[in-house]
Amino acid sequence: GAAEAAEGAMDVLRLLKELHPYKPCRDELAKMPEVVSTNEKASIIEASLISWSCLPAKFEADHFSNKPFLPSALSNEEEAREARNPRIRDRSLLGVCADSDWDRGCSLWASLHSMALRADALGLNALFYRAVMPVLIGGVTMCGGCTLHLLSLHRPIIDAAIFEDLAPLYCANAQCAAAKRHAEEISPCIGRVSMECQQYQPEIADILAFRAYARAVFDDVSQPITHFFVALHNMVTSSIAKDAGGRKHHLYCVKEVLYSLPLNLIEGTGVDRISILKASNASVVGRGIPGLDPHQRLLECDNNP
């Protein structure tokens, strides 16, 4: 399991020179030596530092008000735990995440949505999906609640070894703790009919629908992953109690996300937003999925171009 997550991380690294959302970063990452088995850890560290410094703010560790995840945390569990919720001091340096209470989570999701769009435009959707999912499920969010929910959503298609190799889960904030409690409550009810589980049945139906959708995406390399990550984000968000941390739920339709992402992500690819939006037959593979299904209980979406 740990080996599969690590292999996924290396595959993501190899794709970054094509998929990083910011062109100057793609250019810098393309200068890195070829990744081979003898330099994997060093390559991960180098790419991580480049991915900070290549951004307009040229981020360094000193930009954070608390300790971020640095290379030394790769081999130090306590240091990694302390770095689970780093925060940028100067909020004016941030874009869409400026108002977030969770810089790590917000930046991760923003990157996933942007890279998914580029992957669809470049025909790298299946490669990116199969690379990044073991990393996400392996705990890269550093959010116990997110990890448990991701595990539940992908249980039929993920190697069982990932479940077995997970270290003890911890949380970054109140949202995470609430999601973790909820995941632990609902997990025993999936596939079970009882009075105690009755309250969770609508959510369980959503989980089972998503599992079928994830299987369809896993099996069909033509499925766009822009759609998939919007749906996944909605599913993870919906698992958090509405009053957790005093934050409001935000669920999104695929069309809304697609047209809010910068157009320069797909410039020069020969693919436009409309073709990506129309690529998935949502009436078949997206049935019951928030963000895709026009009649889903949590969010009704008109994703027609």
Residue 69 has pLDDT above 50, yes or no: yes
Task: Judge whether residue 244 has pLDDT over 90.
Answer: no
List of long-range contacts for 124-128, beta carbons under 8 Å, 24+ apart: 124/15, 124/18, 124/19, 125/221, 125/223, 125/224, 125/225, 126/221, 127/11, 127/15, 128/12, 128/15, 128/19, 128/225
pLDDT at residue number 246? 45
3-state secondary structure of 88: strand
pLDDT of res. 226: 95
How large a percentage of the chain has pLDDT more than 70? 93
Confidence band for 265, pLDDT divided at 50, 70 and 90: very high
CA–centroid distance for 127 within its chain: 15
Does 284 score more than 70 pLDDT?
A: no
Is the predicted pLDDT of residue 108 greater than 80, yes or no? Answer: yes
- pLDDT for the residue numbered 37: 67
Q: pLDDT band at residue 247, thresholds of 50, 70 and 90?
A: low
Residue 279: pLDDT band with limits 50, 70, 90: confident
Indicate the residue type of 168: P
> What is d(CA 297, CA 62) in angstroms, rounded to the nearest whole number?
45
The answer, yes or no, to whether residue 242 has pLDDT greater than 60, is no
> Coil, helix or strand for 64?
strand
Query: Is the model's pTM score more than 0.85?
Result: yes
CA dist 91 → 1, 61, 63, 250 (Å): 37, 15, 10, 21
pLDDT the model gives residue 138: 85
